Amino acid sequence: MFFDIQRTEMSTVTVNPPVTTAAPRSAAVAATLFVAFLAKFKKLSERRKESRQVAGRQDEAARVRTFAHQIMAQDPRFAADLFAAADRHERF
């Protein structure tokens, strides 16, 4: 019986609706400039990514050509295929 005591507590919180305030006059201009800045930054980032990809493809093609030169004496047909594959890889 001593352990059957239930304890209930309540609390209340008063929430006031937010007061509508006007945005600063320059907020729209600042937002427009920031969006333009982000667009330029995105374009720059995409260009850098593309140039890294091109450099990577050129490096890979150069390594395949080096390998093709090494095996030219043993298997000229395979070396020719490797040269052609390197050219195709470099173009795309």
Chain segment 33-68, per-residue pLDDT in tens: 999 999 999 999 998 888 888 788 888 999 999 999
Average pLDDT over residues 6-18: 81
Q: Are the CB atoms for 86 and 68 separated by under 8 Å?
A: yes
Reference 90, options 51, 64, 58; nearest CA is 58
Statement: residue 23 has pLDDT above 90? no
Angle subtended at Cα 65 by Cα 64 and Cα 68, rounded to the nearest 5 degrees:
90
**Strand extents, DSSP E, 1-92:** none
Average pLDDT over residues 62-82: 94
Determine if the pTM surpasses 0.85: no
Domain boundaries in the chain? 48-92
